[in-house]
Amino acid sequence: MTFPRSVLLRDVSLRDGLQDEAPVSTEVKLALFEALVAAGIRELELTSFVRPDRVPAMADADALCAATDGADVIRWGLVLNRRGAERALAAGLTHLQYVISVSDTHSRHNAGAGTDDAIAAFEAAAVPAIDAGATVEMTLSTAFGCPYEQRIDPARVVDVARRVAAAGATSIGLADTIGVAVPTEVAALTQAVADAVGDDASIGAHLHDTRGLAIANGLAALEHGATRLDAAVGGLGGCPFAPGASGNVAIEDLAHGLDGMGIDTGLSIDRLVDAARLACDAVGRPVASAVGIAGPRFA
């Protein structure tokens, strides 16, 4: 087993973890932000610039950006289009995360446009954002499977990745949006995308633990070219309408496992668990992480 010596774990609690929950106050988000930074988090998804009527939990994007200005952490803002990018830049963010669904059907349902149109829109939006000094990356949702189309052709994902990297995305996130990937698929797709984009973009994996495979999938990604994994404290991000269904892979479980394997994450497990308790209390859910329940393996 060959892994990178160090891995970037990007926390997505504040965005992906909270977006489908009843809105929590900006004050609580700030407390969580501080707890994450105290745990050693170097990059995080802070918020998204989407329609507040569609995602009320993210309605305080501007206030959250203002209140965290100057913090020693890279703050990513999720944007879906040019207007979102302009809002993010106006709010002071310099790191913009675009999302495109590689499933045409999912893209039409979720973003109102097919994948090709979404790529064209990204190409048009990325240029001015990059010109304005922003770092732009792309998350490819439904990269391993789609609720409408089920299996997605890996060649299609590779093609989309190559095009968005050519358009300026400095990192490609491969998202297992509905938690259907298995390790061999993650290994193969990560390798294929890494080979396709070469030095143009780094590779991240965004894995949901819906079927218990997120950690194994993350390790497969790291063995095949990914240098970043997304994760949320306490496994936040489960669909609120499917009680018990897991959300994002829990960052404290991932950090604990990598730490045991001698892979540096720069994170404090204990402080991540503190942050998980804070976040899960705020949304009224139990901490859904193994290490949050059992504690670290050796004292």
- Kindly provide the b/e burial profile for residues 113-134, where b requires at least 16 CB atoms within 10 angstroms of the residue's own CB: bbbeebbebbeebbeebbeeeb
Which CB sits closer to a copy of itself, 21 or 176?
Answer: 176
Closest separation in Å from C-beta 95 to a copy of itself: 29
Q: Name the burial class of residue 156, with classes exposed (0-12), middle (13-18) and buried (19+) by CB atoms within 10 angstroms of its CB.
A: middle
Residue 252 · residue 292 · CB < 8 Å: yes
Is position 65 annotated as part of the catalytic site? no
- Residues within the interface to a copy of itself (CB under 8 A): 1, 3, 145, 150-151, 179-180, 182-185, 187, 209-213, 215-216, 219-220, 223, 242, 244-246, 250, 253, 256-257, 260-262, 286, 289-291, 293-294, 296-299
One DSSP character per residue, 154-165 reads: HHHHHHHHHHHH
Closest separation in Å from C-beta 200 to a copy of itself: 26
- Please state the length of the chain: 299
Which CB sits closer to a copy of itself, 211 or 277?
Answer: 211
Q: Which two tokens stand for residue 70?
A: 């100057």
Lookup result for tokens 């193994």:
290
Which CB sits closer to a copy of itself, 36 or 219?
Answer: 219
Which CB sits closer to a copy of itself, 1 or 53?
Answer: 1
Nearest to 77 by CA among 90, 104, 241: 90
Closest separation in Å from C-beta 235 to a copy of itself: 9
Q: Which two tokens stand for residue 178?
A: 């509905």
Closest separation in Å from C-beta 227 to a copy of itself: 18
Q: Catalytic positions, please?
A: 239
